[in-house]
């Protein structure tokens, strides 16, 4: 048993009400097209709890984050087991700048914690 066991669920229980409904879209697997090439299979959409935020000016400057990029926080326990956001996925989140209308973003980068309780996604 690890000290990290259960942290993701505890985080979900404590903060789940503070997050909004969103969705993670994972592209389908590449499959042969029968002509020597490949095509992408159908995408899968996973509901999850998200929070869209903006980076501080300090973080943008210190880390070289473009002004057009945003940050989406995803509660790890709101995703099915084994589903981890990654670059190339899409995330849909209510956008406070648009009156909480859902906006879809491309995931550029992901950071997280060892317990997979919270994923921080850099999106465009």
Contact 47, 21 (CB under 8 A): yes
| Alpha-carbon separation of residue 74 from 41, 47, 96 (angstroms) | 25, 11, 16
Percent of the chain residues topping a pLDDT of 90: 73
Q: pLDDT for 18-63, tens place per residue?
A: 999 999 999 998 888 889 898 888 999 999 999 999 999 999 999 9
Percent of the chain residues topping a pLDDT of 70: 98
C-alpha to C-alpha distance for 47 and 2, rounded to whole angstroms? 28
* Residue whose pair of structure tokens reads 């980068």 in the numeric block: 109
Token pair recorded at residue 58:
């300090």
CATH entry 2.40.10.270 includes domain 7-123: yes
């Amino acid at each position: 048993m690890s000290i990290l066991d259960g942290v993701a669920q505890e985080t979900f229980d404590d903060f789940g009400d503070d997050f909004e409904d969103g969705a993670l879209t994972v592209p389908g697997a590449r499959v042969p097209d029968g002509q020597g090439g490949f095509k992408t299979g159908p995408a899968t959409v996973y509901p999850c709890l998200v929070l869209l935020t903006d980076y501080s000016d300090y973080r943008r400057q210190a880390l070289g984050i473009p002004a057009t990029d945003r940050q989406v926080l995803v509660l790890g326990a709101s995703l099915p087991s084994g589903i981890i956001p990654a670059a190339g996925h899409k995330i849909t989140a209510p956008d406070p700048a648009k009156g909480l209308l859902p906006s879809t973003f491309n995931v550029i980068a992901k950071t997280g914690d060892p317990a997979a309780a919270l994923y921080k996604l850099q999106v465009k």
